[in-house]
Amino acid sequence: MTNPMNESDARQDGQTFNAAILMEQVMDDVDLFHEILAVFLQELPNHLSQIRQGLSTGETELAYRGAHSLKGAAMNVGALEVAGLASELERVLKDQTVPPETETLVTRTEQAIDRLCLHLESLKS
């Protein structure tokens, strides 16, 4: 397997992925690193679905919980850009309202997830 520590992708608006964060947590176990990333990627649609469902049904608490879960999961694996955007989303939903910028923020989060997935896919080659 490719050693993820050889990869970095810093973006001006935040770092897409910092492998060192997850690698430190798994104590340099590359196989465990890849297993945890696979679980994270598998759960991403659930977090986004929870956010989208909460927003479309007016259940802002559900959307808030989805943003909170996404933030924590992203931070744990070193997906810093996604974690930062999820944190912003969590902040705007905290008071149980849906400000006008919410949809843009969700879209930016989805775009960051797409960049992250492309980056992680490149680690496999």
Q: Which residues contact 29 (CB under 8 A, 6 or more apart)?
A: none
Measured in degrees and rounded to the nearest 5, phi and psi for residue 9 equal -145, 85
Task: Tell me how far apart the alpha carbons of residues 123 and 125 are, in angstroms, rounded to a whole number.
Answer: 6
* Mean pLDDT along residues 69-90: 96
Domains in the chain with CATH codes:
15-123 (1.20.120.160)
Q: 9 — alpha (psi -120 to 50), left (phi > 0) or beta?
A: beta
Least confident span in 12-21, 95-104, 105-114: 12-21
Helical residues (DSSP H) of the chain, grouped into ranges:
19-25, 30-57, 60-77, 80-93, 102-123
Q: Looking at residue 2, what is its pLDDT?
A: 42
pLDDT tens, position by position, 17-45: 999 999 999 999 999 999 999 999 999 99
